[in-house]
Amino acid sequence: MLPLSGERKDAKGIISEKLDSGDVIRGSSTLKRGFAHMLKNGVVMDVTNVEQAKIAEEAGAVSVMVLDKLPSDVRKAGGVARTASIRIIEEIMDSVTIPVMAKCRIGHVNEALVLQETDVDMIDESEVLTPADELRHIWKWDMTTPVVNGARSLAEALRRIEEGAAMIRTKGEPGTGNVAEAITHIKKVNDELRTIKSMYDSGDNQDLVRMAREFKVSYDIVEQTAKLGRLPVVNFAAGGIATPADAAYLMSLGCDGIFVGSGIFAADDAAERARAIVLATTFWNEADKVKEAQKMIDERQSMLGLDVKTLELRMQDRGGSA
């Protein structure tokens, strides 16, 4: 079990309430990170309406992520992508029993507060939507609702965790049906984790200080992460996952679970593909089960993948310098 330490005494998101049974604390780091732990080994599916949310729940998704448009449609539509309709979010919350998440724009504090007031279970400060602030992410310690952030490297992940993120996901390249970038990101994070772990194990504190400066984070979080040999929060994979084999491969690289969006509902066999990806994520280390999951889908019904190298819009780059 990963430690759930990392509380800040000045965190404004912690709320203490008195009930008949005693004091109740909401918004603590332990609770927010603990919620993410409850989703481990599961699949979170992007949905845009009640029908899709019900398909996701029936397929075994541990949560749904509500958007106005799927990432592939955001890419096609262009313009400014904002948080989903609150009415749609509430309809989905009333229709399913699994946790409901929703996306806000990077740096858009008030979109996040609106989602918090809507009582979503987790907020995704997402590069899929058009960033409101390219230089500053939301200070998530002031949020009572847990927040997940994307990252392409260990440095990005640790910066988001220092801001209060309760969960990290590799960004991949959303809406492409091409898993290559998600694989690149988790392998990069793993390589960098091994590097700082070796520094810690050898007692090389000076190099850990150097890495903290390079990552633009505190020494304490680098030391804690190096000691663990992995991120101090749950880390899911995301971006371009379209098949059960994609999901199983990312789980084999050390991911705690999967976010999948356009790969399901942009395909012609959404219900079967959703069940297959859940099956492959759960039994990723059993090749016969992954084979059965792969047989449940028809490659001819998969979404058309995009070559990431030729894209004009690379969503993964949004907010990356912050």
Tell me if 47 sits within 8 A of 65, measured CB to CB: yes
Dihedrals φ, ψ of 172, to 5°?
Answer: 55, -155
DSSP 273-311: HHHHHHHHHHTTT-HHHHHHHHHTS-GGGSPPP--GGG-
Return the H-helix or E-strand segment holding 26: strand 22-26
d(CA 233, CA 147): 11
Among candidate residues 32, 103, 140, 171, the one labeled active-site is 103
Dist CA 96 CA 122 (whole Å): 15
Known active-site residue 309 = no
CA dist., res. 112 & res. 272, Å (int): 33
Nearest alpha-carbon partner for 119 in 66, 45, 165, 71: 66
Return the SS3 of 27: coil
Helix, strand, coil: what percent of the chain each, to 5?
A: 45, 15, 40
Question: CA 260 to CA 241: how far, in whole Å?
Answer: 6
Count CB-CB contacts under 10 A for residue 1: 4
Hey, which residues are catalytic here?
A: 103
